[in-house]
Amino acid sequence: MKAFKNYKESCLVTYIDKYACSYQGQISVLENYRVIIEIEDTPREMCIQIQKMKNAIICLKTNNRQIMARRFIFREMKGNTSNKDFKCYNFKVTIEAFDVCWGEESCANDIREFIFDSFTCSVTEGTELIGLTPYEEIDSLKLYNTEMDLDIKAKVKELHSVSGYSCYAFHDVIRRKTEIRFGIKSEIHYRAKEKMGIDSIKENIYNMILFLEILSGELITTTQVILFKNDKQFDYLGNCNFLKENLVIFNKNNFDSRSFIRESIFKVSDFATFLDDAINKFCLLVKNKKLAFDSYKQVLLDEEVGISTTNKFLKVMQIIEGMERNKINEEEQKKFDKQKEEILCKVNTEEDKQFIKRYCTNNGDKFIKCLQKITKKAIMSLSGLSNNQFGECHTYTLLSNIKNDRDVYTHASHMANPILSIDEINWVIACYKVFFRVEVLLELGVDISLIRKRFSHDRYFVGSYSKLFDLKIKLEDSFETGEYDNIMRGFD
């Protein structure tokens, strides 16, 4: 996506939906990766057609690339009056396109042909998140010898799943001025069993990014997406609107080493032996708990821009409710409806009947029950407590205060005042964001000892957890978190 920063180029518009044409124009990419197409000298009739188009394609040519855009909206139309009769005959049309492909040749001639075989993408700190390195462990002492015999062994590391996802890490040698740098590049590849439309590709990218956001606890984005069709490749813009190459966690901490922080980040390689099972479980979980994951992404966005308000606190409450509130099953609903009818039959006045019909509803689990469930699961998992030991934690007052503040900020009824301080609200946000991640990771099959080890390297969570619950994470004697972290230890 770096190649498209401040991108602006003249073009020839050759096709608009089913209409062949030859209009001069300009295509530009704005700083938030919105694609704007300006078409010059467009007849009024074509302008009207463009305004009506909903799911159509537009084909463009630049000096060396073919560009195809799908799904665009009409933004502006400006006309110049003629010198003869002072009427507008041709117009400059501005449209915004949402799915745009650049290639050496056109990827389709029709909206139905806008399908692809596979895609490759790079993501924020992909090497850290994939957790693979092409290098073997390097003896640091040899680098300080007066005579060096460099013997750096490297080979492509791969991680494959039956479901179509593959992760790659490969060496990258950069020669610049008097320097030689040995780096790592990474890619995530996906190939479906059948050809995919853009909507299917975007859904796969969305789920993949969301999975990585659970692993990192941070907002992730693609830094490049390439689509493949019949051995041809096309650069693609349209799945995100910002560029983020570095994880904030590596920048905001002034006293921890990168190696220490690295161990707090879960890696795709943590799932090496059960990746397919984890992917299937994750996709099902996202489908069934959509509210929780949508709210989680909103919390990550707030953190990315540095916002910490009561609204962020409420989004965390939505995560809890979305994750823990069970769907009302059919049998329970039938039983409830039957009891409600029996009560209505015993009521005499019409006013009382209307009151019961309006206010007596089955909403499933109450919020306090959802809060208790996620708290108990997370604390027992992280601190290794038994059922009886958890009962001695005396969480009742804290959970009641959280529920009180959630009700105050949600309903604004002025019937009660908030109890938690700003610091306590921030601790609640930090803890329950992690509790949600813990529950998801456990659902995916991650070993609890690894979960404890990685979260023990998150100092802010450890501090918040201690302040709120007066508890520590249970740790074993071994602090190893995997091959990647061992090899990369000392790389800052």
Q: Is residue 449 part of a domain?
A: yes
Q: Work out the pLDDT band at 77, boundaries 50, 70, 90.
A: confident
pLDDT for position 173: 87
* Cα 449 to Cα 461: distance, rounded to the nearest angstrom: 17
Which range marks the domain in which residue 454 is found? 292-326+365-487
Q: Which two tokens stand for residue 43?
A: 């007849």
> Picking from 48-62, 209-223, 333-347, which range would have the lowest pLDDT averaged per residue?
333-347
Do 243 and 175 belong together in one domain?
A: yes
Q: Is residue 272 part of a domain?
A: no
* Contact between residue 220 and residue 213 where contact means Cβ atoms under 8 Å apart: yes
* Cα 441 to Cα 298: distance, rounded to the nearest angstrom: 19
Question: Which residue shows structure tokens 């005042």?
Answer: 417
For residue 331, pLDDT beyond 80 = no
Do 166 and 104 belong together in one domain?
A: no
Q: Is residue 146 part of a domain?
A: no
Q: Is residue 149 part of a domain?
A: no
For residue 470, pLDDT beyond 60 = yes
Do 378 and 414 belong together in one domain?
A: yes
Q: Is residue 478 part of a domain?
A: yes
Do 89 and 122 belong together in one domain?
A: no
- In terms of average pLDDT, the best of 169-173, 292-296, 476-480 is 292-296
Q: Per-residue pLDDT tens for 250-280?
A: 886 667 888 889 999 999 999 999 999 999 9
Q: Which two tokens stand for residue 267?
A: 């890696």
Last-in-domain residue among 221, 247, 273: 247
Do 90 and 190 belong together in one domain?
A: no
* Cα 10 to Cα 15: distance, rounded to the nearest angstrom: 16
pLDDT for position 168: 94
- The total domain count for the chain is 4
Q: Is residue 270 part of a domain?
A: no
> Picking from 187-196, 349-358, 378-387, 415-424, which range would have the lowest pLDDT averaged per residue?
349-358
Rounded to two decimals, what is the model's pTM?
A: 0.88
pLDDT for position 326: 76
* φ/ψ (deg, to 5) at 77: -145, 120
Do 371 and 404 belong together in one domain?
A: yes
Residues 251, 253, 254, CA angle at the centre, nearest 5°? 105
Say how many C-beta atoms besides its own lie within 10 A of residue 39's C-beta: 25
- Residue 295 class from Cβ within 10 Å (0-12 exposed, 13-18 middle, 19+ buried)? buried
Last-in-domain residue among 247, 271, 302: 247
Q: Per-residue pLDDT tens for 443-464?
A: 999 999 999 999 999 999 999 9
Q: Which residue has the higher pLDDT, 289 or 256?
A: 289
* Cα 221 to Cα 481: distance, rounded to the nearest angstrom: 25
Q: Is residue 203 part of a domain?
A: yes
Residues 245, 247, 252, CA angle at the centre, nearest 5°? 125
The sign of the CA dihedral 156, 157, 161, 163 is negative
For residue 6, the one-letter residue type is: N
The sign of the CA dihedral 119, 122, 126, 127 is positive
Do 345 and 377 belong together in one domain?
A: no
Do 221 and 305 belong together in one domain?
A: no
Calculate the dihedral angle through the C-alpha atoms of 155, 129, 458, 402, rounding to the nearest 10 degrees.
-160
Q: Work out the pLDDT band at 371, boundaries 50, 70, 90.
A: very high
Do 178 and 201 belong together in one domain?
A: yes
Q: Per-residue pLDDT tens for 84-110?
A: 554 666 788 999 988 999 999 888 877
Pairing between strand 222-229 and 115-123? antiparallel
Do 106 and 228 belong together in one domain?
A: no
The sign of the CA dihedral 439, 444, 447, 450 is negative
Q: What is the mean pLDDT of the chain?
A: 87
* Cα 252 to Cα 304: distance, rounded to the nearest angstrom: 11
Separation in Å, CA 361 to CA 112, 333, 337, 357, 364: 47, 10, 9, 8, 9
Do 73 and 45 belong together in one domain?
A: yes
Q: Per-residue pLDDT tens for 421-437?
A: 999 999 999 999 999 99
Do 297 and 322 belong together in one domain?
A: yes
Q: Work out the pLDDT band at 33, boundaries 50, 70, 90.
A: confident
Last-in-domain residue among 314, 339, 359: 359
* Cα 425 to Cα 420: distance, rounded to the nearest angstrom: 6
Q: Per-residue pLDDT tens for 117-164?
A: 999 999 999 999 999 999 887 666 555 555 666 677 788 999 999 999
Q: Is residue 287 part of a domain?
A: no
